[in-house]
Structure 1
Amino acid sequence: MQNINLPDGLSVRPSRASDKPFLEKLHHSLRQDLQLIDAEQDMIESIIELQLKAQTQGYGNQFPNAMYFVIEKHHEPIGKATIDFGHNEVRLVDLALIPAARGKGLGAAVIQALQQAAAMVAAPMTLSVLQSNIPAKALYQKLGFITSHVELPYELMVWYPPAMKVIRA
């Protein structure tokens, strides 16, 4: 993603084994729901760790060609992106930012960079979003994504590059 336009200081690079502690911490920050479990803290930490392993394995099974990236701002990790470049589409499997980086347009900038990459190869970009995640859906719609399929509790959204001639019913 070197030739893609990103705001100053923002970069996306392939994930490395040395990123594991950051990715675990990021996952932990995303699972505030599990912090509410009425259990000992050690048990909660074990559940969060199991969730991360299950997610990683699930992505590997469902998207065997996926690539894993770390998002950095001024060389400090602030997020992750999982992208599958297969099946004639660019699939955004996962995008997550640390709490301090959310709501600043950084996620949108990464998605727009991926849209540029998809446009270069004339492929649509797809993603799944929880139907109940209204803020994320609003962002994706603002970026030009439309709902193409609903499989509760998720919606599959797609963005078509301007060069693609799409006939929509």
Structure 2
Amino acid sequence: MPGVPALRFRAPEDRDAGFLRDLFTSAAPGRDLLPPALLEMQQQAQHQQWSELWGGNGNVVVEFDDVPAGRIWTAWRTRDVRVLDIALLPEFRGAGLGGRLLGDVCEAADLAGLDVRLNVARDNIAALALYQRNGFVTEEAGAVFLSLLRWHESARARGHRPS
């Protein structure tokens, strides 16, 4: 369709190391002040932990008009989809791309009859607003993170959470 930027999803490759480091660094304020070796250790530890807990198949690079723009990592389970991460480089934020990615996950989850769960930092106001606009509600409130839930379409139509 003309005028609609093309999204492409692919598995991370060795050539993405610098891009993924920049993405990891840009995702949290202050990370850019840490020594590069410490950042690399943190990034590797996160990748290893998420791969062990959730599997690595849901970790994909998002290209926007053939340019690496971000990453989305999801874990599809029998009752729900866990969105572990939606991260975009700063130059791709605020243009609706994150909402488009989230919308695609929610639409696919609805088709599969699955709820969607994710965590968000309490102070990430922009992300929290995006999630609330997409039907997420607070499931659990921690000191630093909120655990959010979006019931699948048929559950919302019934007005309650499926049992």
What's the TM-score bracket when you normalise by the shorter of the two chains?
Answer: 0.7 to 0.9
How big is each residue's C-alpha offset from its partner over 1:36-89, in whole Å with a ceiling of 9 and x where there is no partner?
A: 35xxxxxx1111111101111221232236511111111111000110001411
* Aligned-pair identity (%): 28
TM-score (norm 2): 0.85
- 1:109 is paired with a residue whose SS is helix
Match for residue 19 of structure 1? Answer: 16
RMSD, aligned CA: 1.9
Structure 1, gaps ≥5 residues long:
1-6, 38-43
Residue 53 of structure 2 corresponds to which residue in structure 1? 62
| Contact residue 31 and residue 48 of structure 1 kept, 8 A | no
Structure 2, unpaired ranges of 5+:
none
What is the CA-CA distance between 1:134 and the residue it aligns to?
Answer: 1.8
Corresponding position of 2:154 = 163
Q: How many aligned positions are there?
A: 156
Higher relative contact order (CA 8 A, sep 6+): 1
2:151 counterpart letter in structure 1: Y
Large movers: runs of 4+ above 4 Å:
none
Aligned 1:67-146 pairs, distance under 5 A: 67-146=58-137
Whether the 8 Å contact between 2:136 and 2:148 is mirrored in structure 1 is: yes
Distance 1:32 1:167, change over 3 A: closer
> C-alpha separation between the residues in 2 aligned to 1:14 and 1:36?
29
Q: Which residue of the partner structure matches residue 138 of structure 2?
A: 147
Select 1:35's aligned residue among 24, 32, 39. Answer: 32
Q: Please state how far the C-alpha of 1:32 moved relative to its aligned partner.
A: 4.2
